[in-house]
Chains A and B, each alone.
Chain A
Amino acid sequence: MNETGAPILGARALRKEYGREAGLVRAVDGVDLDVAAGETLAVMGPSGCGKSTLLHLLGGLDRPTSGELVLAGQRIDHLGERALARLRLGTVGFVFQAFHLMDELTAAENVELPALLAGVSPRRARRRATDLLEHVGLADRARFLPSALSGGQRQRVAVARALANEPLIVLADEPTGNLDSEATLDVLRLFDSLHTAGQTLVVVTHDARIAATADRMISMRDGAFVDETRLTGGSTGSLGTLAGLEG
Chain B
Amino acid sequence: MAPGLGRDLRHHPAQAFLLLLAITAATATLALGLALHGVTSQPYQRTRAATNGPDVVAYLPVLHRPGRVAQPPAQVTTLVHDPGVTGHSGPFPLVGAVVRARGRAAPAEAEGRSQAPAVIDQPKLTAGSWVRPGGVVIERTFAGALGVGVGDRVTLNGRPFTVAGIAVTAANPPYPNLCYTGGGGCWASPIDRGTYPAAAATGLIWVTGPDADRLATSADPLSTYVLNLKLSDPARAQAFANAHGKGNNAGLTSSPGLAAWPGIAAADGLLVQDEQQVLSPGSWLACLLAVASVAVLAGGRMAEHTRRVGLLKAVGGTPGLVALVLLAENLIVALAAAAAGLAIGFLAAPLITSPGAGLVGSPGAPSLTLPTAGLVIAVALAVALAATLAPAVRAARTSTVSALADAARPPRRRARLIALSARLPVPLLLGLRLTARRLRRAVLSAASIAVTVTGIVAVLPFHATARLTRFGGSAGLANPVISRDEQMLTVLTVMLVTLAVLNVIVTAWATALDARHSSALARALGATPQQASAAVSAAQVLPALPGALLGIPLGIGLFALASGSGTVTVPPASWLAATVLGTLVAVAGLTAIPARIAARRPAAAILQSGLG
Please report A residues at the B interface, Cβ cutoff 8 Å: 52-53, 56, 61-62, 81-82, 85-86, 88-90, 94, 96, 98, 100, 102-106, 109, 113-114, 116-118, 122, 143-148, 161, 165
Set of chain B residues within 8 Å of A96, measured between Cβ atoms: 607
Contact A52 B526 (CB under 8 A): no
Set of chain B residues within 8 Å of A90, measured between Cβ atoms: 526
Set of chain A residues within 8 Å of B433, measured between Cβ atoms: 102, 104-105
Contact A109 B429 (CB under 8 A): yes
Complex Cα gap A106–B518 (Å): 13
Complex Cα gap A82–B602 (Å): 12
**Contacts A100-B521, A104-B437 given: A52-B608 contact, CB under 8 Å?**
yes
Interface residue? B65 (CB, 8 A):
no
Interface residue? B525 (CB, 8 A):
yes
Smallest Cβ distance from B596 to chain A, in angstroms? 12
Set of chain A residues within 8 Å of B522, measured between Cβ atoms: 102, 113, 117
The 3 A-B residue pairs with the shortest CB-CB distance in the complex, in nearest-first order: A89-B526, A147-B410, A104-B433
Contact A117 B411 (CB under 8 A): no
Set of chain B residues within 8 Å of A103, measured between Cβ atoms: 408, 410-411, 437, 518, 612
Set of chain A residues within 8 Å of B68, measured between Cβ atoms: none
**Contacts A103-B408, A104-B436, A105-B433 given: A82-B528 contact, CB under 8 Å?**
yes
Q: Which of A61, A106, A145 contacts B603 (CB 8 A)?
A: A61
Please, which residue of chain A has its CB at the minimum distance from the CB of B417? A104
Contact B410 A81 (CB under 8 A): no
**Contacts A109-B422, A117-B522 given: A56-B604 contact, CB under 8 Å?**
yes
| Given A61-B602, A104-B434, A117-B522, 6 more pairs with CB closer than 8 A | A53-B604, A89-B525, A102-B522, A103-B411, A103-B518, A122-B422
Contact count A vs B, C-beta below 8 Å: 94
Complex Cα gap A61–B601 (Å): 11
Contact A145 B527 (CB under 8 A): no
Complex Cα gap A207–B517 (Å): 27
Set of chain B residues within 8 Å of A82, measured between Cβ atoms: 528-530
Please report B residues at the A interface, Cβ cutoff 8 Å: 408, 410-411, 413, 418, 422-423, 426, 429-430, 433-434, 436-437, 517-518, 521-531, 602-605, 607-608, 610, 612
Please, which residue of chain A has its CB at the minimum distance from the CB of B435? A104
Complex Cα gap A9–B255 (Å): 107
Set of chain A residues within 8 Å of B426, measured between Cβ atoms: 113, 116-117
Set of chain B residues within 8 Å of A85, measured between Cβ atoms: 523, 526-529
Please, which residue of chain A has its CB at the minimum distance from the CB of B518? A102
Complex Cα gap A13–B602 (Å): 22
A-B contact pairs, 20 of them (CB 8 A): A56-B608, A61-B607, A62-B604, A81-B528, A82-B530, A88-B524, A98-B610, A100-B521, A100-B524, A102-B518, A103-B411, A104-B436, A113-B522, A113-B525, A117-B426, A122-B422, A145-B410, A146-B410, A147-B411, A161-B525
Set of chain A residues within 8 Å of B604, measured between Cβ atoms: 53, 56, 61-62
Contact B603 A148 (CB under 8 A): no
Residue from A94, A96, A103, A109 having most chain B Cβ neighbours under 10 A: A103
Residue from A90, A104, A116 having most chain B Cβ neighbours under 10 A: A104
Contact A104 B518 (CB under 8 A): yes
Contact A88 B525 (CB under 8 A): yes
Q: Which of A52, A62, A122, A148 contacts B413 (CB 8 A)?
A: A148
Q: Which of B422, B527, B602, B610 contacts A117 (CB 8 A)?
A: B527
Complex Cα gap A85–B600 (Å): 13
Contact B413 A94 (CB under 8 A): no
Set of chain B residues within 8 Å of A118, measured between Cβ atoms: 526
Smallest Cβ distance from A174 to chain B, in angstroms? 12
Q: Which of B411, B523, B602 contacts A145 (CB 8 A)?
A: B411
Complex Cα gap A102–B434 (Å): 10
Complex Cα gap A94–B608 (Å): 13
Smallest Cβ distance from B119 to chain A, in angstroms? 82
Contact B423 A122 (CB under 8 A): yes
Set of chain B residues within 8 Å of A109, measured between Cβ atoms: 418, 422, 429
**Contacts A104-B430, A104-B518, A105-B433 given: A81-B529 contact, CB under 8 Å?**
yes
Complex Cα gap A146–B522 (Å): 16
Complex Cα gap A165–B525 (Å): 10
Complex Cα gap A90–B436 (Å): 30
Smallest Cβ distance from B328 to chain A, in angstroms? 33
Please, which residue of chain B has its CB at the minimum distance from the CB of A83? B528
Complex Cα gap A235–B237 (Å): 110
Contact B411 A62 (CB under 8 A): no
Contact B528 A61 (CB under 8 A): no
Complex Cα gap A100–B517 (Å): 8
Set of chain B residues within 8 Å of A106, measured between Cβ atoms: 418
Please, which residue of chain A has its CB at the minimum distance from the CB of B608? A52
Smallest Cβ distance from B395 to chain A, in angstroms? 21
Set of chain A residues within 8 Å of B410, measured between Cβ atoms: 103, 145-147
Contact B527 A100 (CB under 8 A): no
Contact A143 B418 (CB under 8 A): yes
Contact A102 B602 (CB under 8 A): no
